[in-house]
Amino acid sequence: MTAISLPLFTITHQSKFSLPPVSRLPNKPFSLPSIFYNAAAASRGAKPVRASTSEPASTKSAETIAVENADSEESTLFVIRARNQIGLLQVITRVFKVLGLSIDKASIEFEGEFFIKKFFVTDSHGNKIVDEESLEKIRNALMDAIGDGGDGDVVGSATRGVTVRRPASGLVSGERKAKAERMFALMDGFQKNDPMSLQKDILNHVEYTVARSRFSFDDFEAYQGLSHSVRDRLIERWHDTQLHFKREDPKRVYFLSLEYLMGRSLSNSVINLGIRDEYAEALNELGFELEVLAEQEGDAALGNGGLARLSACQLDSLATLDYPAWGYGLRYQYGLFRQLILDGFQHEQPDYWLNFGNPWEIERVHVTYPVKFYGTVEEELVDGRKSRVWIPAETVEAVAYDNPIPGYGTRNTITLRLWAAKPSDHYDMESYNTGDYINAVVDRQKAETISSVLYPDDRSHQGKELRLKQQYFFVSASTQDIIRRFKDAHDNFDEFPQKVALQLNDTHPSLAIAEIMRVLIDEENLDWDRAWGIVCKIFSFTTHTVLAEGLEKIPVDLLGSLLPRHLEIIYDINFKFMEDLKKKVGLDYSRLSRMSIVEDGAVKSIRSANLSIVCSHTVNGVSKVHFELLKTKVFKDFYELWPEKFQYKTNGVTQRRWIVVSNPSLCDLITKWLGTEAWIRNVDLLTGLREYATDAVLQQEWKMVRRVNKMRLAEYIEVLSGLKVSLDAMFDVQIKRIHEYKRQLLNILGIIHRYDCIKNMNESDRRKVVPRVCIIGGKAAPGYEIAKKIIKLCHVVADKINNNSDIGDLLKLVFIPDYNVSVAELVIPGADLSQHLSTAGHEASGTGSMKFLMNGCLLLATADGSTVEIIEEIGSENLFLFGAKLDEVPTLRERGPNMKVNLQFARVVRMIRDGYFGFQDYFESLCDTVEADKDFYLLGSDFGSYLEAQAAADKAFVDQDKWTEMSILSAAGSGRFSSDRTIQEYAEKTWGIEACRCPF
């Protein structure tokens, strides 16, 4: 096979650049491989797309391919007019190469957003192509390669390679039909799941995917081979699900969230696929353990806390309940930082979670969209009417990375699509034209920065700009993908609300509203009223905020610079809203100002929450308490205007992750006593445990399961810190993000009080003390100094307690660093008591308490967030409540300076102030935050009640039979707090979607 160099392309208004050489195939008669045909048209029952030779290359509306044989005696001229696309030149040259053709010369001209590409081509003998049938085949192959795809997921505007499509039955004939039938015969069965087949699969992946010898590989390489084997089975179901959705064309929900805490995927996947035992057996015969290999997987820390983990649970439930859904987010190169503790101080390190690859994602290089920034807006006449046209100054590409999300007990496997930012081809062309290689590299880095870091530090202007870029990049790519998928099957946007529901997970994706308005008006040429009517029917908004001052705002100057057209649209939305509002509330300027989307002030800003409320048909709270706060405080003005818009769906967590995966022993025990595994999909069946709560046999088995889980946690603590803890002690846990309102400081002050009491007891009194192992874990935001001081305080107190021989096993304090989903899966099953201490009115929901509840852990909590509903479900007698109620908090804050100080509280704070634990000066500002006139979160006010609740927990723990009964009743009452119930409520009351189950 000989190779020839392709002559330089001539580019109008651009400098020259060269493409890779195209190889000639061996001399043989020209024939077109049978894989090329227009499957997209065929699947709709249409004839293949063909370009007429008489069609001019300057057609304004679509891609065209023309053939001109008169201009040259030596070669055939193909004139291709197509939209400017990443990698399109490579696509075309590769098509010619696959067809055995050679390109003698070529040129490119720009025409607006289109390229005019001319290729002088000869056949494998170096001759001009004159046979009409061969020319027609070449045209169809080229059109198919640059077209819009046939699987519902190929994006014509960004195809990077030749698209090869599966022939459809009945649409081909002769030799091609025979080849199609052969292909289907090879692929008509599902992957086999017997242990022998799984072993062969794993070893093949070890050798051919991981490139290690099947006779010598370690645990990590075994994990990689295992993961790819599991992924094969996920992809099989995933393809079937997407084809089923496309065929049925149901209304779909698109879940927009900037954060996801998915945790590890291996264990969850094999359980949801229903083949865990088969894999365990296959691995055992190879000399490996499934549990050990599962530990090799790292966490994808693409979120900050509860909101991100909630998103992951909801995707699991959407898949399990067979709802047609897509999740969208960002593929951060660096997730939430890794927390290192050095000498008790938190240090942040980048989380290089992609360093060793991610076997669960599929890079969709053919699914890319241009995302534009900056520039100007100009007015043009289009079809006789004035239109606003955005002329951007910067373009980056959004590349899709798909993560299959399997449902449990169903074939349905849905998609979490994460976007990564890549430089546009425009960067490369601009830079290479001037020979500016350095600028090309800088531009590439600048583009990729957009999806680099979760939560960039937004204290500077550059940080704020990057955060806004992330938000728009995310929603622009997602909405382009959503609209493209809709247009694949529909051509009337009036049908958009019947096929699309868009869920805004908090205010981060709120720019999607302005973006869809822009697309409908500027690109699809709908008038304002029609576009506005569509937008108001497709969006629903869930807020997780409890304080109005915590709501997101975007500076107008920044938005106007980065997204000038979107600012215009938001101003127009606000103007029309204000005019309508004046008709309803009159000239109440104070109320008009509060409800305006645009906030005037020292820094003029866009209120993202107000924009989301005005443009959404439903506004959701996440618990009953949160709903009341939204109605009476946070969005009081909007609730009075539109009470019908406001709903609440209490958040939930998935029992598959938080019992089946993380606590398999408890899972087996529950199944044994209920006599069915059906509770894994229908978690309400857990209430059946109530009738056995006092059964001595169940109690004994329940205790044994809990003790085994405590052993695992104790071993982890010893490996982590070298500290041995007693299994007879109460494992008292508080793991969550470190924040003043979550009151980890209250917990530490309580531990200091307990330590002080034990230290001053005589020996006989000490024998009556219930031993405790207090476990705290969580990360402080990098710029949150008070939270970091709380972490340091925890460590110095632990040093004092754990090294005091008089205390012994009566009290231990452990801080677990780098808390994440995988750590939670170990800690939660081993906990006896879980503390949820937020000041009433500050926790929107609190899903952490639900995970502990499902695992039979007792709660010590304030009546805040979802705890109020937990009380309703399991009874106040089965948990330990303390602290001020929601309606008491404002009064207590007003009385703050005049309140009588709790003497026990004053003593422990004084111990810190006086340097009993060292670092006297360092902790001074921390102690200042709990002084009577500064104690915003009411630690001093609630301290006495907190100690009483702790004493009640001690008393209950002594009676292990009673404690176990309470534990069983906690798990039995947790069904209401499953994300399955939450998603079903959203589907029925908000999104209007129905299950679309993929047949087996």
Q: What is the pTM of this model?
A: 0.82
For the cut 90, the answer to whether the pLDDT of residue 177 exceeds it is: no
Confidence bin at 437 (pLDDT 50/70/90): low
Q: Is residue 79 within 8 Å of 5, Cβ to Cβ?
A: no
Could you give the residue range(s) of every CATH 3.40.50.2000 domain in the chain?
249-263+298-368+395-558+608-648, 655-977
Q: What is the pLDDT of residues 480-494, one digit of tens each?
A: 999 999 999 999 999
Hunting for tokens 């728009």 — which residue is that? 472
Q: What is the pLDDT of residues 414-433, one digit of tens each?
A: 999 999 999 986 545 455 45
End-to-end CA distance of the chain: 47
Tally Cβ neighbours within 10 Å of residue 356.
13
Does domain 655-977 fall under CATH 3.40.50.2000? My reply is: yes
Is residue 60 helix, strand or coil? Answer: coil
Q: State the pLDDT at residue 32.
A: 38
Q: State the pLDDT at residue 306.
A: 79
DSSP-assigned beta bridge partners for residue 387: 380
For the cut 70, the answer to whether the pLDDT of residue 31 exceeds it is: no
Q: Is residue 313 within 8 Å of 979, Cβ to Cβ?
A: yes
Confidence bin at 159 (pLDDT 50/70/90): very low
Q: State the pLDDT at residue 154.
A: 44
CA angle, corner 269, sides to 263 and 273, nearest 5?
160
Q: What is the pLDDT of residues 330-363, one digit of tens each?
A: 999 988 899 999 999 999 999 888 888 899 999 9
CA distance 554 to 561: 12
Could you give the residue range(s) of every CATH 3.30.70.260 domain in the chain?
64-145
C-alpha pair distances (Å), 179 with each of 34, 48, 133, 283, 884: 8, 19, 21, 37, 74
Q: State the pLDDT at residue 152.
A: 44
In terms of C-beta density within 10 A (0-12 exposed, 13-18 middle, 19 or more buried), how is residue 128 classed?
middle
C-alpha pair distances (Å), 537 with each of 386, 513, 529: 27, 11, 13
CATH class of 64-145: alpha beta
Angle between helices 276-286 and 195-204 (to 10 degrees): 60
For the cut 50, the answer to whether the pLDDT of residue 883 exceeds it is: yes
Q: Is residue 519 within 8 Å of 531, Cβ to Cβ?
A: no
Q: Is residue 771 within 8 Å of 726, Cβ to Cβ?
A: yes
Residues forming the active site: 544, 736-737, 742, 847, 851
State mean pLDDT over 923-942: 94
Greatest CA separation found in the chain?
A: 110
Q: State the pLDDT at residue 38.
A: 35
Range in 4-8, 118-122, 621-625 with the lowest mean pLDDT: 4-8
Helix and strand counts by DSSP (H, E) for the chain: 37, 31
CA distance 745 to 747: 5
Q: Is residue 423 within 8 Å of 444, Cβ to Cβ?
A: yes
Chain Cα centroid distance, residue 712: 30
**Helices assigned H by DSSP within 147-289:** 174-187, 195-204, 219-248, 266-273, 276-286
The residue that leads in pLDDT, 1000 or 95, is 95
CATH class of 249-263+298-368+395-558+608-648: alpha beta
Q: Is residue 514 within 8 Å of 507, Cβ to Cβ?
A: no
C-alpha pair distances (Å), 398 with each of 49, 329, 401, 565, 756: 28, 11, 10, 20, 58
DSSP-assigned beta bridge partners for residue 377: 390
DSSP secondary structure, 545-557, as one string: ---GGGS-EEEHH
The residue that leads in pLDDT, 912 or 429, is 912
Q: Is residue 822 within 8 Å of 777, Cβ to Cβ?
A: no
Confidence bin at 45 (pLDDT 50/70/90): very low
Range in 296-305, 882-891, 958-967 with the lowest mean pLDDT: 296-305
For the cut 60, the answer to whether the pLDDT of residue 158 exceeds it is: no
DSSP secondary structure, 870-898, as one string: HHHHH-GGGSEE-S--GGGHHHHHHHGGG
CA distance 623 to 618: 15
